[in-house]
Chain A
């Protein structure tokens, strides 16, 4: 069974640019979450999508956005990049549907973004 796939794995951008990251969940998983990992803050929740709808959003500015497609694939976008956006962005999928406990998240290897 293929795992969660994230692309690109590494990318370098400059301040003010925008970036789009892609995530393909495990087949059959309809929930996709995004997390930001930085050395100082650990793993922080960005947002979760289920059936193309954003169900919850973490405490991040509006520059961070995302969407989910009908095949459950998800993208996240960061506009007007800042130096502090340099981080590992992790996508996770789960079987979870409404009304269930969070359960196990399956993480991808992440997209490492460097903002210069």
Chain B
């Protein structure tokens, strides 16, 4: 049973437009969420995170929105750039001292078209 779901395996967006990547979770105990970006032949790199006490967190072109009632979060990239083409993983954790590892979604391959 997948606790973190990224239902879109791939997404194609035109350069300069907004990219919206979605993520759903089923475990109501999750209270900390992260997004990672992965290029081929490299390990994932941390992008942005959000705690469940917030509903929005911004970092430059990247904004993550959290809707706890819907158990849904999204990553917005504005404007999208060619270097944003990568696989994006949503991850969740039970924080507050828990030693559980991160639970990842299967990833969404974002393709930015020129």
Contact = CB atoms under 8 A, between A and B. Distances in A.
Interface of A: 4, 33, 35, 41-48, 50, 55-56, 58, 90, 92, 98-110
Nearest to A104: B46
Interface of B: 32, 34, 36, 41-46, 49, 51, 89, 91, 93, 95-97, 99-107
Nearest first, the 3 closest Cβ-Cβ pairs linking A and B are A107-B43, A45-B101, A42-B106
A99 B95 CA distance: 9
Contact of A108 (B43, B95, B96): B43
A101 B46 CA distance: 15
Contacts of A99: 97
Contacts of A101: 32, 51, 93, 95-96
23 contacts: A33-B102, A42-B105, A43-B44, A43-B89, A43-B91, A44-B104, A45-B102, A45-B104, A56-B101, A58-B101, A90-B44, A92-B43, A99-B97, A101-B32, A101-B93, A101-B95, A101-B96, A102-B95, A102-B102, A104-B34, A106-B46, A107-B36, A107-B45
Given A56-B101, A107-B44, 16 more contacts: A33-B101, A35-B104, A42-B104, A43-B102, A43-B104, A45-B100, A45-B101, A47-B101, A58-B101, A90-B44, A98-B99, A100-B97, A101-B51, A104-B46, A106-B46, A109-B42
